[in-house]
A and B are shown apart, each in its own frame.
Chain A
Amino acid sequence: MLPIQIDYKRCNGCGICEKNCPGDLIYSDEKTGLPYIKYPDECWFCGACRIDCPKNCLDIKFPLTSL
């Protein structure tokens, strides 16, 4: 389970989440230009990716051991 879930139906590939992530964990797919979580184990659950998302298409999903 990824800590950051992206709704690709709504995502416009603007890149703000990638730019915002303080751990540089989000990359853009070279072909589609859409973001993906490259280093899910290094997430701080800070929400910086979601806070400025213009399409509101990010969800934070806590791993079971962090609940």
Chain B
Amino acid sequence: MHSEHFIQTDVLVVGGGSAGTMAALEAKKQGVDVVLVDKAGIYRSGCGAAGNDHFLSVLETGPDWDTPEVFLKWYQRLTQGLVDTKIAENTFLKRSKQLTVELEEMGIPMKEGEDGGYIRTRSFAQPGDYFINFDGRALKPKISKIAESAGVKFITNVAVVDLLTNQGKVVGAVGFHIRTGEFYIFQAKAVVLATGNATRMYENPSGLPFNAWHSPYNTGSAQAMALRAGAEVKNPEFVNYTITPKNFSASALNAVVGMGGYLVNAKGERYVFKYHEKGEQGPRWAMPWGTYWEEVEGRGPCYFDLRHLSDSAKKHLIEHLLPVDKNTFMDYCEQKGIDPGTDLMEVQISEGQHPAFLGSVSGIFVDEHCRTTVPGLYAGGACAVGIGSLAGSMCFGQAAGAEAGAYAQGTEMSELVQPQVDELRELTYAPMSSRGDFNYTEAENKLRQIMSDYVSISRNEEGLAAGLSELKALKKLFGQIKAENGHDLMRTHELRDLLLISKAITTGALDRKESRFGLSHYRRDFPETKEEWHKSTHLSLKDGVLNIRYVEPYN
């Protein structure tokens, strides 16, 4: 029997990355009690654990492009109307300028230009230089400290397993301590989900599944919990790929193309123009799409080419961007024996993952007040569809926290349903008493094999159907995974969530009889983008079955 902790709070925020920490701080500012829970620590957690180099911001400095109107028009085009731009308007555009100033006041170096001003660059077909190049290595600990000092109660090393509901409302959550196994019961007036995107469903080109583009500890638990609590997940079939250095799934593409770097094939040709009129300045999806065809047609390997850049641009990239975004970037270069300024750097198409960047259209469905379709349940950051990137997630989280805080102020605490708590306690610890002999790694490897074989880049009807049936078979084996300790239990519950997300991806992909967003959803049997499919998939879960409804695009 595991000991239990009961925690009552007005607002519970699940996930202590950049979005969740901002949500907790903002809810606290409303004058309510706030608990922030994360399965890791909070000071260095989430995708921004060790730093970030680009901060998206519309600063209204004068030029047309630096206005909310132009940004929104572009964002509408980028997401093809599949994202409600009211969310970006209400969360990001109302906050990004102010947040930029606030970060500066916290002591985050935002103005890195020689003239003491901002360095701003553009990438991925943006109409203007929205990305402030900054040194975000201290960002996560600084905002965490501010949140904790403001009175947010931090609970670390506790993995949340599921939400608690009462009469259709979310009223709390349960989880366990990943080392001691102690059980945690949370009762709350409102819950904000902010656990980021979903990774580890697809085989990694290096063979190392945790060597992922975004944090490999992001396993779609918010999306899975939301589905199980009755909320909707939007457009799961669009799996995202990017270009990363060969065998090292580090963020780099934004920095490289933002500074004017090229992508070249084995013949030395810049190839992205063949696939998008803007070449390396096109949207992100155009680059993995183009690289895929270069390799398929025998013109690989492909490379980052930075040799033409000026010495100052190279210096900025190598000293201020790459190692700030990924702290170990230069260790990789050194150990591989390459100098990115003078050598070509081989690239690869990353493993697929559920998106976490600007322009992604997949995740928990929320409205412009960050509300899911279930009362009391809010979501922000990369787990929800709204606005991506670090700055987007921080603003989105901030807005979700403000909304949840205001809702909690006008709401009474609802009772927990004891049989539901008991059932979830049993479900939580079931892997500890399993009589099976699989470990979590074996089962997770099987998941990756299924998803990579049938639901990855090149999809067709028969393959997707086979994938779905393999996923069902793996789900049946789930009870045979044996967890020996809290760490195993955490990974096993991550797999439970990943299985549901994988099923959602496959279900959406099987139904969508067209191709869209490059490799994100490329059906070999329906290779064209079709007007009749210009709509969003909304999935919900009922009695273990995923149901689809389609929603027309926003205009």
Q: Closest residue of chain B to A47, judged by CB?
A: B327
- A51–B336 Cα gap in the complex (Å)? 21
**B335 touching A51 by the CB < 8 A rule?**
no
- A22–B48 Cα gap in the complex (Å)? 10
- A22–B40 Cα gap in the complex (Å)? 5
The 6 listed contacts between A and B (C-beta, < 8 Å) are: A22-B41, A24-B178, A43-B210, A44-B212, A48-B49, A52-B44
Chain B interface, number of residues (Cβ within 8 angstroms): 37
Q: Is A30 an interface residue (CB 8 A)?
A: no
- A20–B466 Cα gap in the complex (Å)? 41
Which residues of chain A (47-67) have a CB below 8 Å from chain B? 47-48, 50-52, 60-63, 65-67
Known: A20-B44, A22-B45. A48 touches B157 (CB 8 A): no
A interface residue numbers (CB < 8 A to B): 19-24, 38-39, 41-48, 50-52, 60-63, 65-67
**B137 touching A44 by the CB < 8 A rule?**
no
Which interface residue of A22, A23, A46, A67 has the most chain B CB atoms within 10 A?
A: A22
**A46 touching B49 by the CB < 8 A rule?**
yes
Dominant secondary structure of chain A at its interface with chain B: loop
Interfacial chain B residues near A66, Cβ < 8 Å: 206, 208, 211, 247-248, 332
CB B203 to nearest CB in A, in angstroms, measures 12
Q: Is B326 an interface residue (CB 8 A)?
A: yes
Q: Closest residue of chain B to A62, judged by CB?
A: B335
- A4–B241 Cα gap in the complex (Å)? 27
**B215 touching A45 by the CB < 8 A rule?**
no
Q: Is B277 an interface residue (CB 8 A)?
A: no
Which residues of chain B (244-301) have a CB below 8 Å from chain A? 247-248, 250
Q: Closest residue of chain A to B210, judged by CB?
A: A42
Dominant secondary structure of chain B at its interface with chain A: loop
**Residue from the list A22, A46, A67 in contact with B326, Cβ < 8 A:** A46
- A40–B336 Cα gap in the complex (Å)? 20
Known: A20-B43, A24-B157. A62 touches B248 (CB 8 A): yes
Interfacial chain A residues near B141, Cβ < 8 Å: 52
What total of A-B pairs shows CB separation below 8 Å? 98
Q: Is B202 an interface residue (CB 8 A)?
A: no
Q: Is B50 an interface residue (CB 8 A)?
A: yes
Interfacial chain A residues near B51, Cβ < 8 Å: 51
Which residues of chain B (174-202) have a CB below 8 Å from chain A? 178-179
Interfacial chain B residues near A22, Cβ < 8 Å: 40-41, 44-46, 49, 215, 217
Interfacial chain A residues near B50, Cβ < 8 Å: 46-48, 51
Known: A41-B210, A47-B50. A23 touches B216 (CB 8 A): yes
**A65 touching B247 by the CB < 8 A rule?**
yes
Q: Is B62 an interface residue (CB 8 A)?
A: no
- A43–B211 Cα gap in the complex (Å)? 7
**Residue from the list B44, B46, B328, B487 in contact with A45, Cβ < 8 A:** B328
Q: Is B331 an interface residue (CB 8 A)?
A: yes
Q: Is B207 an interface residue (CB 8 A)?
A: yes
CB B208 to nearest CB in A, in angstroms, measures 6
Which interface residue of A39, A44, A65 has the most chain B CB atoms within 10 A?
A: A44
**A51 touching B137 by the CB < 8 A rule?**
yes
CB B226 to nearest CB in A, in angstroms, measures 22
Q: Closest residue of chain A to B38, judged by CB?
A: A22
**Residue from the list B40, B207, B250 in contact with A24, Cβ < 8 A:** B40
Q: Closest residue of chain B to A50, judged by CB?
A: B327
**Residue from the list A20, A23, A50, A61 in contact with B217, Cβ < 8 A:** A23
Which residues of chain B (456-474) have a CB below 8 Å from chain A? none
**B40 touching A42 by the CB < 8 A rule?**
no
- A45–B336 Cα gap in the complex (Å)? 15
CB A15 to nearest CB in B, in angstroms, measures 11
A20-B49, A41-B208, A51-B51 known, 4 other contacts, Cβ within 8 Å: A19-B44, A51-B327, A66-B211, A67-B248
Interfacial chain A residues near B490, Cβ < 8 Å: 24
Known: A43-B210, A45-B211, A52-B44. A67 touches B332 (CB 8 A): yes
Q: Closest residue of chain A to B334, judged by CB?
A: A62
Q: Closest residue of chain B to A27, judged by CB?
A: B179
- A19–B326 Cα gap in the complex (Å)? 19
Interfacial chain A residues near B212, Cβ < 8 Å: 44
Interfacial chain A residues near B335, Cβ < 8 Å: 61-62, 67
**B336 touching A23 by the CB < 8 A rule?**
no
**B248 touching A45 by the CB < 8 A rule?**
yes
**B41 touching A20 by the CB < 8 A rule?**
yes
Which residues of chain B (25-47) have a CB below 8 Å from chain A? 39-41, 43-46
Interfacial chain B residues near A41, Cβ < 8 Å: 208, 210, 441
Interfacial chain A residues near B247, Cβ < 8 Å: 65-67
**A46 touching B327 by the CB < 8 A rule?**
yes
Interfacial chain A residues near B157, Cβ < 8 Å: 24
CB B327 to nearest CB in A, in angstroms, measures 3
Interfacial chain A residues near B208, Cβ < 8 Å: 41, 63, 65-66
